[in-house]
């Protein structure tokens, strides 16, 4: 049950269920259910950073309003990071939406966090990268939703200018619109939470999940996939 709030959104009941970090690895279906409950999947007409119209918008910014779901998503990323055996000295969230996730990943893994600003300030230290770091260190980039991978690339570029290395990036959800190839061109290894193409945490998986909720038809899914395959 939901209640209307002043900004037109709905307050979401958020029952405390389990402590996630003590549990076995988080299942993609569990995370899908939580994101669905948080109303992260919106159908309609929305525009992406690239300017492309999308008939489905995935808004993971909403999960910061539930510490439990935010932690679950961060823990899912940490499961993937640990199983991938990648090495890094710092965690950086791609601004802004991924900053809460990156903060929790840093906390769970006990790895220092840095912050990349979208724009340098005109006062204070005027730094684009905030935090304490040693040149030569390696950064893991944390993203919420990846579309083209451009935001990850921009963040990696700014970090590399500070003589830090960036070889890996991870996202909760891949919209499957070319990021894997685009990032490989920039020597970035892109990890999704799950690699299987049928995973819930890909665009195709989300659409399949919405079909099981009777909020999508197979025909509409086909149309959306076709639309999203068009060049930006
Ligand atoms: O892979 P891309 O094509 O770059 O698209 C993905 C990016 O778009 C969204 O951020 P947005 O630009 O909306 O900014 P925000 O995080 O500040 O909300 C999202 O949080 C990613 O960072």
Question: DSSP assignment of 185-203, as one string?
Answer: HTT-EEEES--STT-TTBH
Q: Best substitution site from 145, 149, 203 to test ligand 1's pocket, by max atoms within 8 Å of Cβ? A: 145
Q: What is the pLDDT of residue 183?
A: 85
Whole-angstrom distance, CA of residue 166 vs CA of residue 163: 10
Sorted by where each starts, the structural domains of the chain and their CATH numbers stand as 28-229 (3.40.50.2020)
Q: Read off the tokens for 217.
A: 């038809």
Q: How confident is the model over 117-129, as pLDDT tens digits?
A: 999 899 999 999 9
DSSP state, residue 232? -
Paired strand residues for 46: 54
Q: How confident is the model over 91-136, as pLDDT tens digits?
A: 999 999 999 999 999 999 999 999 999 998 999 999 999 999 999 9
CA 145 – ligand 1 centroid, Å: 7
CB 139 within 8 A of CB 150: no
Cα torsion 4, 7, 8, 11: sign = negative
CA 222 – ligand 1 centroid, Å: 24
């Amino acid at each position: 049950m939901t209640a209307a709030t002043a900004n037109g959104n709905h307050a979401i009941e958020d029952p405390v269920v389990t402590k996630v970090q003590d549990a076995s690895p988080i299942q993609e279906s569990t995370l899908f259910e939580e994101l669905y409950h948080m109303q992260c999947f919106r159908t309609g007409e929305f525009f992406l950073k690239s300017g492309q119209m999308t008939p489905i918008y995935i808004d993971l910014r909403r999960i910061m309003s539930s510490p439990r779901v935010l932690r679950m998503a961060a823990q899912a990323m940490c499961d993937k990071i640990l199983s991938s055996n990648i090495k890094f000295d710092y965690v950086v969230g791609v601004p802004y939406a991924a900053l809460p996730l990156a903060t929790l990943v840093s906390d769970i893994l006990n790895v220092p966090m840095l912050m990349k600003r979208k724009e340098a300030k005109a006062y204070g230290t005027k730094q684009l990268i905030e935090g304490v770091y040693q040149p030569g260190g390696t950064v893991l980039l944390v993203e919420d939703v990846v579309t083209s991978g451009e935001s990850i690339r921009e963040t990696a570029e700014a970090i590399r200018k500070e003589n830090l290395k960036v070889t890996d990036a991870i996202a909760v959800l891949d919209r499957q619109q070319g990021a894997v190839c685009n990032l490989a061109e920039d020597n970035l290894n892109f990890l999704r939470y799950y690699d299987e193409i049928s995973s819930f945490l890909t665009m195709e998986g989300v659409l399949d999940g919405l079909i099981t909720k009777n909020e999508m038809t197979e025909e509409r899914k086909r149309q959306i996939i076709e639309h999203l395959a068009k060049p930006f």
